[in-house]
Amino acid sequence: MSQLPQSILIVGGGVFGLSTALSLSHRYPTHNITLLEASTTIPNPEGSSVDSSRIVRADYANAAYARLAAEGIERWRNTEWGAEGRYTQNGLVLVYHKSSGDAGQGDDGERYTRASYENVKRLANGDEKIVRFLPDRNAIHGVFPRNTVHVAETVVAGYVNWGSGWADAEAGVRYARKKLEELGVVKIRTDQKVSRLLFSDEKDDKKKVAGVQLADGSTITADLVILATGAWTPGLLDLRGLADARGQVLAYLRLTDEEQARLANMPTLLSFSTGMFIIPPRNNELKIARHAYGYRNPTRVRLDSSADVAEEAEVSLPETGRPIPPEGEEACRAALREMLPWLADRPFFKTRVCWYTDTPQGDFLVTYHPDHPNLFLATGGSGHAYKFFPVLGDKIVDALEGKLDEDLRRLWSWPAQRPSTTSFVTKDGSRSGRKDMILAEEYARGSKL
């Protein structure tokens, strides 16, 4: 006998929704399961799961994420997930910079790097051929191909983990969709934007979610609704203080064939002190990006919480389809000058603001809603969920079935006490930069370039 109700609706076709759908296909092959996606396509080019690359690392300060990521990497390496170029094991160099003396400016970088080093050293059984401490700039230079990466003067130390890699993010999403279609259990419906949750109008059961209403006014009912709507989730449900959309900058430049060959096998370079990172290029395109506190995009929305209660509120939601603001472009340009000075003046042919679903501690939100017993949240990726794609769905369905591992349950559940403040900055030890940036204000500022 299955533990989950017969009709299940998953909203969202990114990493959280697709991995949940895959796992449900295996555990509940005779259930009536539908996945709705607002975009006309999966992969959704505006979704957080879709991009040229995502770092796949077990390099976490938190041991529970390090272990889960190691499970994920096993599947990227040894199963179809990582085949056909979807996973490349190029190594990761994590570095930290001299303290700026300002707690907001990445002073957690050293602490995070050292804790992460201890975790991955343990996972590698102390094998220095896999994980090696790099005590100074010379040692760091030594792990990159000659005359490629420049290690900034402010960098103090770091380590290399040759067991980490990167995934072709869009190809991974395409693969998950193909697997779902082959399994044929879940009905996938694109171009289906959910405008609101429907609450039961039965007198004694108003807290129950009856289904969803779509943008065209039609409705779909279900016994269980799973929201995997990423950075858009705060527009559907009151998550103030718990999850919020934060924009991060990405910039891409074109390389010649010779430049592509030169950088193709470099390890990924990441600094949690500055947030800047470079993943090796593919198809003559190099990406430079920033993992930071990000931009808020305040938006007024109507939040329903039951059949007859609705409230107007301000939340941060994604804005897509525009280039990055001058501040972000300048940061990417400065990082390029610093890390790859021979490409310092190469124009960016494309930039993008990509949206994290940030939570206060950077932990996912994979839990039933405390007030609505048949509403489940699978979100809160906080800029680091992609690597778990091959294992995340199993954990989400474990949580649905009430049997999630205790360490993850503690990290991912609805907090016992709802935070009293509605605004927050993510304190996961890996963020840096300004904490107060508003996207519209940054667009309004002139460029200093």
Ligand X SMILES: Cc1cc2nc3c(=O)[nH]c(=O)nc-3n(C[C@H](O)[C@H](O)[C@H](O)COP(=O)(O)OP(=O)(O)OC[C@H]3O[C@@H](n4cnc5c(N)ncnc54)[C@H](O)[C@@H]3O)c2cc1C
Q: Which residues bind ligand X (CB under 6 A)?
A: 11-17, 36-39, 44, 47-49, 54-55, 193-194, 228-232, 236, 248, 250, 289, 354-357, 379, 381, 383-387
β-pairing verdict for 298-306 and 309-316: antiparallel
For every residue of 371-401, DSSP letters joined together read S-TTEEEEE--TT--GGGHHHHHHHHHHHHT
* DSSP-based three-state secondary structure for 172: helix
Q: Kindly tell me which of 28 and 295 has the beta carbon lying closer to ligand X.
A: 295
Distance separating alpha carbons of residues 348 and 346, to the nearest angstrom: 7
Taking the complex as a whole, how short is the minimal distance between the CB of residue 365 and ligand X, in angstroms?
A: 10
Nearer to ligand X, 157 or 236 (CB): 236
Q: What is the nearest approach in angstroms of ligand X to the Cβ of residue 108?
A: 18
Q: State which residue, 51 or 137, has the beta carbon closest to ligand X.
A: 51
By beta-carbon proximity to ligand X, the closer residue of 39 and 105 is: 39
- Number of residue whose CB is nearest ligand X: 14
- The least CB distance from residue 229 to ligand X, in Å, is 4
Comparison of 16 and 175: residue with beta carbon closer to ligand X: 16
The CB-of-385 to ligand X minimum distance in angstroms stands at: 3
SS3 content of the chain, % helix, strand, coil (to 5): 30, 30, 45
| Closer CB to ligand X, 48 or 161, in the complex | 48
Nearer to ligand X, 137 or 386 (CB): 386
CA 216 to mean position of chain CA atoms? 29
Rounded least distance, CB 116 to ligand X, Å: 14
Give the nearest distance from C-beta 164 to ligand X in angstroms.
10
The least CB distance from residue 387 to ligand X, in Å, is: 4
Nearest Cα residue to 92 out of 124, 64, 68:
124
Nearest alpha-carbon partner for 222 in 236, 212, 232, 235: 212
Q: What's the min distance (Å) between Cβ of 394 and ligand X? A: 16
Nearest alpha-carbon partner for 3 in 374, 415, 370: 374
CB of 397 to ligand X, least distance (A): 15
Dihedral Cα 273, 361, 302, 208, nearest 10 deg: 150
The minimum distance between CB 55 and ligand X, in angstroms, equals 3
Q: Which is nearer to ligand X, 137 or 359 (CB)?
A: 359
Q: What contacts 161, CB < 8 A, 6 or more positions away? A: 57, 58, 59, 91, 92, 94, 120, 124, 130, 131
Sheet order of strands, 276-282 included: 131-134, 155-161, 92-97, 268-271, 276-282, 285-290, 244-254, 348-358
* Structural tokens at position 415: 């907090």
If the CB atoms of residues 39 and 374 are measured against ligand X, the closer one turns out to be 39
Q: How big is the chain by its Cα radius of gyration, in Å?
A: 22
Contacts of 106-109 spanning 24+ positions with Cβ under 8 A: 106/271, 106/272, 106/273, 106/274, 106/275, 106/431, 106/432, 106/433, 107/273, 108/272, 108/429, 108/430, 108/431, 108/432, 109/271, 109/272, 109/273, 109/274, 109/432
Nearer to ligand X, 121 or 290 (CB): 290
Shortest CB 57 distance to ligand X, Å: 7
Q: Output the CA–CA distances (angstroms, integers) from residue 413 to 139, 180, 193, 224, 420, in the order listed.
A: 41, 27, 27, 18, 17
Instruction: Name 30's Cβ contacts closer than 8 Å, sequence gap at least 6.
Output: none
**Of residues 248 and 426, the one with the C-beta less far from ligand X:** 248
